[in-house]
Every structure is written in C-alpha cells, then in structure tokens.
Amino acid sequence: MSETKALVVYKEKEPEEDMTKHRGTVLLVLILGAFVTILNQTLLNVALPHLMNDFNASADTIQWLSTGYMLINGIIIPISAFLIGTFTTRQLFISAMISFTVGSLICGMAPNFTIMMIGRIVQGAGAGIIMPLMMTVILNIYPPQVRGRAMGTIGIAMFFAPAVGPTLSGWIIEHWTWRILFYVAMPIAILDIIFAFLVLKNVTKVTKPVFDFLGFVTSTIGFGSLLYGISEAGSKGWDSVPVVSTIIIGVVFIALFIVRELTAKNPLLNLRVFKYNMFSLSTVVSCIVNMAMFGASILVPIYVQNIRGYSPMEAGLLMLPGALLMGIMSPLSGALFDRFGIKPLAFIGLTITAITTWEFAHLNADTTYSTLMWLYTIRMFGMSFIAMTIMTTGLNQLPRELASHGTAASNTARQIASSIGTAVLVTIMTNRTTYHVGQYANDLSLSNPNYNPSGLESMGAAFAQQMGQSLAAGKAYASQMLYGLVTKQSTIQGINDAFVVATGLTIVALIVSFFFRRVAHGKTAKKKMAEKPAEPIELTETSGQTARV
C-alpha cells in the first residue's frame, strides 16, 4: 500500500510573469494613452479665445478650463501610488482612458461653460493617472540597465504631442469648429482602450494599501490651493489677496501633509523616497529644469504671436522642428544614458540649453523667423539629453516596492515647479516691461534736458499733412504710434530679462548636476534577494519514497 508523504521543494522565489516578450506592446499602449491626453491639452490652448465668444465668458472664466484641468491633475498625481497599489494595471489604465474619453465627449457636446468645466474635470481625472502609471510600469518591467531607453521612449509622447497640438489646433480652428478639437482625440482614445483590452498585461502588484484619509484631505487642499495661487499670480499679481491667501493655505496644508505622511503607518505617498540621495538630487535638478523649460515655452509664443504678429499656426510650425527633434532624440538619449550614465548627458544637455536660452535673451523687433526656429530647435536638442534621463537616474536608485511612490513624488514636484516657473517668468516679463516703459517715459519727458520735442512735432505735422487732418490730430496720432513702439520694445526687453533669469536657472541646474553619480545597477535587488529566505513549496507525492530538492 502506497503512502502519501509531503515533498518539500525549496527554490528561490520567482518574479512575476516574465514580461520581456510583452514589453513592446505594453509600452505602446501606455504611450498612445499619454500621447492623446497631452495632445488634447495643447489643442485647447489655441481655442480659448473662440470659447470666450461662444460661451460669452470673460478671459478669467475661460482660463478655468485649463486651471481646473491642472488642479485635478494636482490632486490625482499624489494619490496615484495608492491607486496603483489598489487596482491592477489593466483596471487602472482602462478606467483612466474611459474617463478621459467620456470627458472629451462631454466637452465636445457642451452647450455652456458649466458643462464644459465638468467635462474638463472628468478628462483631468483620467489623464492625471496616465503618466505616473506608465513610469511605474516601466520601472517594473525594465531592468535598470536598459531603463533609460524605455523612459526615453516616453519622450515621443511627451514632446511630439505638444509639437503637433498648436499647429493642428490652428488649422482646425481656421477651417472648422472648436468642438472638433475634442472629437479628434476620441477615436485615438477608443482605439487605445480596445488595444488595452486585447494586449495590456497586469504589471504592477496589487497590495491593497489602507487609504490614508487625512493624508488625502491635506494633499488635496495643499496642492490644489498652491497650484491655484501660483496659476493666478501671473494675471492678478503676487501681492493680491486671493493669490497670497491660497498660497499660504497651500503651504500650510502641504506641511501638514508631509508630517502626516512621515508619521503614518500606511502613508498615502511614502515620502521616505527622498532618503535616497540620487533620487532627491535628480528631483531638485528636474524641478529647476522644468521651471526654465516650461516658463520659456510660454515666452516664445508671446514674442512670436503678440509682438511679431505671427498666427498660432505659424507659431506652431516654428516650434515643430524642435519638438520633433526632441521626440526623436529622447530614446537615443535614453540609450546613451544606459551606456554612459547621467553625468556626460547632463553636462552636454544643460550647457546647450544654457547657451541657447542666453541667446533668446537678445531678441529684438527684427529677429528673423528662421533665427527663432534654429534657436528653438537647438535648445530642444539640448533639452532632449536631460528631459527624461535626469529623472530616470533618480528612479533607478529606488527599490521596486517604492517605484509608484517615487514616480508620484517626482511628478508632483515637477508639476509644481513647472507652474512656479511659468508664473515667475511671466511675472518677471510683466514687471520688467512696466519698468522699461517707465524708463522710456522718463527719456521722452520734457524734464529730460536731452529730449528734443521738435522731433515729435515734426512727425505730427507730417501725419497731419498725409491724413488731411489738423496739426493736433497729427500730433495725437504720432504720440499714439510712439507709445505703441515703446510698449512693443519694452515687452521685448521684458521677455529678454525673463530669459536671463531662465538662463540663470539652467546654470544652477548645471552646477548641481556635477554631484550626480551612477547608481550601481541591481544593487537594491541583490541585497533584497540575499536577505529573503527561500520559500518552501509543499507538494504531494504518492510513493514510498521521500524526495527533497
């Protein structure tokens, strides 16, 4: 009679399903989702003036379509680590894309501003999770040795979409209705959802973390208030009551959020990721770079469209080669990162960026279109070496279980830095423009001994003769034209001053980047494997022998 005995097999714990053969399809699904969400945001910016007319709303009201989208992103991104631990990759991604698609449909059909705002919130709730999820998936399925190339591939979506957006939006607005801007994204989103149902694999581990309600409340109020205050500072001024009060509220609640997360047993966002020195350093440098990059990306369209009078489509075409080059170079830079590490790339990229940003600080009323295009293209070439690689070098240091928290913390910090950079550089441009107008006014004042009023009188007389008007009317026209020229020149000088500050930020990032060092690949994983005991697997054997492996 045979006897049943336990066969105990000891083997090392195997990782999750080998994702090597699925990497390409998983990455393609995620990049397509990121592309369509980023594209939609850039499409909307050009359409804001048309929405003001259709909805009979003020500029401040319509701006909420962008501000609200940004705020909901600012709320979703810090809790993305909790969501990634609660739901599977497929559940989270497909739900996010469905939310974005439904929001796009609501916006496209919106009969008024209120419905449009609801649609934007629904869109933002879905779009906010895409980038942290995509980065966490990459950290899970790609080893550190080849992770740079994978992270660089994200750049195709991050930089190609903003390149296509303004040009495509300008063409649609000129020939069709703004509603097409929302409908055009839906087929791509629906295709990606179908693709996800068919080929997307579950990559992230479901840990079912306990929901930190207090952390969620402090995070929502803190980041929401801070981002709102910063976004309004450019138009209302840093000393306005709404801006100051919301920024103070934001800072106080973010401080409470930090204390809560550092003391909670199950934090919503594990801020201990900042104990890893290269992660902290890379986050600081990424924030500085984002402040310079996104702030300057606002200044160039202001100069091109408002000062030089180019159309939105022409402005988009000017920036298109640079953005395309950045999208092409991003995977190549990632491959170089995998081979040589971050130091040479950071030095090359930040040096090129600093030089070209400094050149942008010397614009004038006669700077040619081709010069602007070449400067912007070369600047984007430099940015391509650092846009994703700096962040990757920090994330590579984190152990796998902290990947989702690292991506959430990094994306949150970069979003805040981008908002601060944009608001600060626009404020500098505005304040310096006012300063330069005042300087010109002093130069043209009768109290200035070097000022000769006969020039203005001669100009007024010439205009009066040409127009067949009185001398007073000619002088008024000459004064108006002179004021327009002064305002134009002052704005150019204000933009130049802002680019000087952006250059300074880039140089600071370059100096800090010298402290980068390459993290040993697989160091954390090997340490964990050495400390983790083998798991016994009990099998049942029907025989008269006992086997042990």
How is the chain split into domains, by residue range? 19-209, 212-267, 274-429+492-549, 434-491
* pLDDT(535) > 50: no
Mean local confidence (pLDDT), 332-337: 88
**Cα–Cα–Cα angle for 121, 283, 149, nearest 5°?**
85
Q: Identify the pLDDT of residue 532.
A: 44
**Rg of the chain's alpha carbons, rounded to an integer?**
28
Alpha carbons 4 and 41: distance in angstroms, whole number: 65
DSSP for residue 275: G
More confident residue, 28 or 48: 28
* pLDDT(316) > 70: yes
Structure tokens at 260: 């809560």
When pLDDT is cut at 50, 70 and 90, the band that residue 194 belongs to is very high
DSSP for residue 265: S
Alpha carbons 334 and 194: distance in angstroms, whole number: 29
Same fold, 19-209 and 274-429+492-549: yes
* pLDDT(17) > 60: no
171's CB contacts (< 8 A; 6+ apart) are 313
Alpha carbons 256 and 218: distance in angstroms, whole number: 7
Q: Identify the pLDDT of residue 16.
A: 44
* pLDDT(407) > 50: yes
pTM for the model = 0.77
Alpha carbons 496 and 494: distance in angstroms, whole number: 5
Q: Identify the pLDDT of residue 503.
A: 92
Instruction: Measure the N-to-C terminal CA separation of the chain; round to a whole number of Å.
Output: 25
Structure tokens at 183: 């409908």
The answer to whether residues 510 and 348 touch, using CB atoms and an 8 Å cutoff, is no
Neighbour-count burial for 133-167, b at 16+ CB within 10 Å, e otherwise: bbbbbbbbbbebeebbbbbbbbbbbbbbbbbbbbb
* pLDDT(542) > 50: no
Structure tokens at 416: 């805040």
**Cα–Cα–Cα angle for 211, 279, 88, nearest 5°?**
35
Beta partners for 541?
5
Mean local confidence (pLDDT), 110-134: 88
**Which CATH architecture group holds 274-429+492-549?**
Up-down Bundle (1.20)
Alpha carbons 341 and 329: distance in angstroms, whole number: 16
Q: Residue 436, class by beta-carbon neighbours within 10 Å (0-12 exposed, 13-18 middle, 19+ buried)?
A: buried
Lowest pLDDT segment from 36-50, 369-383, 453-467, 493-507 = 453-467
The total of other beta-carbon atoms located within 10 Å of residue 465's CB is 11
The dihedral of CA 304, 310, 312, 314: what is its sign? negative
DSSP for residue 10: E
- Closest C-alpha among 288, 286, 283, 285 to residue 271: 283
Q: Identify the pLDDT of residue 6.
A: 45
Alpha carbons 17 and 355: distance in angstroms, whole number: 47
More confident residue, 531 or 283: 283
When pLDDT is cut at 50, 70 and 90, the band that residue 479 belongs to is low
Sort strands 4-11 and 535-542 into parallel, antiparallel or unpaired.
antiparallel
When pLDDT is cut at 50, 70 and 90, the band that residue 540 belongs to is very low
The answer to whether residues 83 and 135 touch, using CB atoms and an 8 Å cutoff, is no
CATH of region 19-209: 1.20.1250.20
Residue written as token pair 């497929």 = 90
Alpha carbons 413 and 289: distance in angstroms, whole number: 12
When pLDDT is cut at 50, 70 and 90, the band that residue 193 belongs to is very high
